[in-house]
Structure 1
Amino acid sequence: MDVYLLWHIHHARPLDGSPTRHVDDDGDLDWDEQEGDEVKFLGVYSTEQRAQERILEARTLPGFRDEPDCFHIDRYQVDKGHWTSGYFTYHY
């Protein structure tokens, strides 16, 4: 069984005055929380269609309507592990 996690990204304005970057060179939604982008979790949905319906609703709300194309849906399989190979922390 799959579930669909819905996120919204509010992009921070670059301090150097350059244009806000919403998508990467491939056209995929781009964000960087270390640069001040805010990622908001909107919910878990049983179908992609329900997540899309939630996007339509959220686009009418303050904040979300300012960046109506900055929603992201992640598909996850229930009961499937992630980060299965561990991780390493770099110390500077």
Structure 2
Amino acid sequence: MQRLVYFLYHVRYEDTDDEDVKLIGIYSSHEQAELAIEQLKNKPGFIDYPDDFQITENVLNQDGWVDGFIDLPE
């Protein structure tokens, strides 16, 4: 049986060199993640970027990145 979890992120400047990603938490339901957004969206910093929250659904105990990676030259 697959168990789902919900990651809540706040992502500013997505897909730019200045991208700022914060992992807010991991929740047992989409509804719990939405409640966290409601509690945070009026806090300092978040209040200026209320539309930058993202919830992603993930399967518990399943690898999410399995292809390895390469280093890019700077």
What's the TM-score once normalised by structure 2's chain length? 0.83
In structure 2, do the counterparts of structure 1 residues 2 and 36 end up closer, same or farther at CA, with 3 Å as the change threshold?
same
Question: Displacement, 1:87?
Answer: 2.8
**Corresponding residue number in structure 2 for 1:67:** 49
Whether 1:46 and 2:24 are equivalent positions in the alignment is no
Give runs of ≥4 in structure 1 deviating > 6 Å: none
In structure 2, do the counterparts of structure 1 residues 87 and 58 end up closer, same or farther at CA, with 3 Å as the change threshold?
same
Instruction: Point out where structure 1 has 5 or more consecutive residues left out of the alignment.
Output: 12-30
Higher relative contact order (CA 8 A, sep 6+): 1
May I ask how many residue pairs the two structures share in their alignment?
72
Larger Rg: 1
Question: Displacement, 1:83?
Answer: 2.0
What's the TM-score once normalised by structure 1's chain length? 0.68
